[in-house]
Amino acid sequence: MTDIVPATSFLGRLIGSCPDAWRRYTEHPFVAGVADGTLPEAAFRHYLAQDYLFLIHFARAYALAVYKADDLADMRAAAGTVNALLDTEMSLHVQYCAGWGLTEAEMAAVPEDPACVAYTRYVLDRGMAGDLLDLHAALAPCVVGYGVIGARLAADPATKRGDGNPYDAWIAMYSSEEYLDVVRGSVTQIDRLAAKRGGEARFDALAKTFAAATELEVDFWQMGLDAV
């Protein structure tokens, strides 16, 4: 796997259970276009606006994680993520999007793409129907996948960096040590939840959830390309 997601971790095993879907997600043509700077800017703008809406639902999912938690440590971890999303990540996203000519009011008014609806509601549904581990299995492809993608692109000498690539700041954001620490924290948390909540006996069901969420990530990238 990688030093970010050890193959022997519970999350590493979930990734290993759906290699084709994971490859299509992390190596999608949208990602390849980000790497070499050839992605149509209209596709990226559509993605950014939908990602704004996605983050709102992501915050709702972590708020659900507070409710689903059965101890203070898990409640505090989820509440911290909610606060970070609402107070920091959303502001950073709005600032970044401003550089692409998108205002927060414009993004808030954009109709939600069916791919965004499908993905976010799936995550919320798994959280409502299942427990905290089910919810984290559905959340993990986004949290972890972006770090895996960012680290791979940053380490690949074929990736175009600097002013010649309009997506260089995006690559830098998701390959930063700050973000990779978030990924490592997620890996550790899922290991702990799996040990606490009978993850081994539930592995097949959790792998199905993880694979479905990964496929919805593939659709989210494709949504951007299809908008051009």
Task: Report yes or no on 5 lying in a domain.
Answer: no
Please tell me the total count of domains within the chain: 1
The dihedral built from the CA positions of residue 197, 198, 202 and 206, taken in this order, carries a sign that is: positive
Is the pLDDT assigned to residue 205 strictly greater than 60?
yes
Task: Report yes or no on 31 lying in a domain.
Answer: yes
Task: Report yes or no on 2 lying in a domain.
Answer: no
Task: Report yes or no on 74 lying in a domain.
Answer: yes
Element (H, E) at 170: helix 168-175
Residue 73's pLDDT band (cuts 50, 70, 90): very high
Supply the DSSP string of 119-157, one letter for each residue.
Answer: HHHHHHHHHHHS-HHHHHHHHHHHHHHHHHHHHHHHH-T
pLDDT at 2: 65
Task: Tell me the CATH number at 100.
Answer: 1.20.910.10
Task: Report yes or no on 95 lying in a domain.
Answer: yes
CA distance 189 to 128: 19
pLDDT in tens, 93-140: 999 999 999 999 999 999 999 999 999 999 999 999 999 999 999 999
Question: Length of the chain, please?
Answer: 228
Q: Which domain holds residue 44?
A: 10-226
User: Where would I find the H helices in 17-40?
Assistant: 19-26, 29-36
Task: Report yes or no on 130 lying in a domain.
Answer: yes
Residue with tokens 């692409």: 100
Task: Report yes or no on 35 lying in a domain.
Answer: yes
Task: Report yes or no on 87 lying in a domain.
Answer: yes
